[in-house]
Amino acid sequence: MGGIAVRALTSAVGLALILAGAPAANAARQAGVSGRASLKGPCAVPGPRCDNLGVPATIKVVRARSRRLVRTVHTDTGRFRVGLSPGRYRLRATADGGHATGSVRVRVERDAFTSVVVVMHHR
């Protein structure tokens, strides 16, 4: 085999290995948690209750057993979606300004997004 043929074969094998790993990488992104951070009780603005409204917040995703921080996300609307490996987690939400907090436990199954509402209570 000539040098050009060897390089072409090496490139083809390398590309095949990369593409073979792509479905596995994409599968990990097909699971996780999605939902909304909301505030229990009256809103800061007179009028409506905040029970069903999304609230800007920072959400920390922590492994349930080890309590290791896995990811931190911020939402301006209260809605969030986080890709995670299957397992058990605790989501801890803190409203912008720190005036309310809440948490929820969640189990992420393979190939599925689990829906949650993290209800935060005034401190």
Kind plus residue range of the DSSP H or E element containing 73: strand 69-75
Question: How many CB atoms within 10 Å of residue 28?
Answer: 13
Give the pLDDT score at 122: 85
Model confidence pLDDT, tens digit, residues 74-120:
999 999 999 999 999 999 999 999 989 999 999 999 999 999 999 99
Model confidence pLDDT, tens digit, residues 24-68:
444 445 999 999 999 886 666 666 565 567 889 999 999 999 999
User: In angstroms, how far is CA 94 from the centroid of its own chain?
Assistant: 15
Structure tokens at 54: 């999304």
Q: In what order do the strands lie in the sheet with 57-63?
A: 69-75, 57-63, 87-95, 100-108, 113-122, 32-39, 79-83
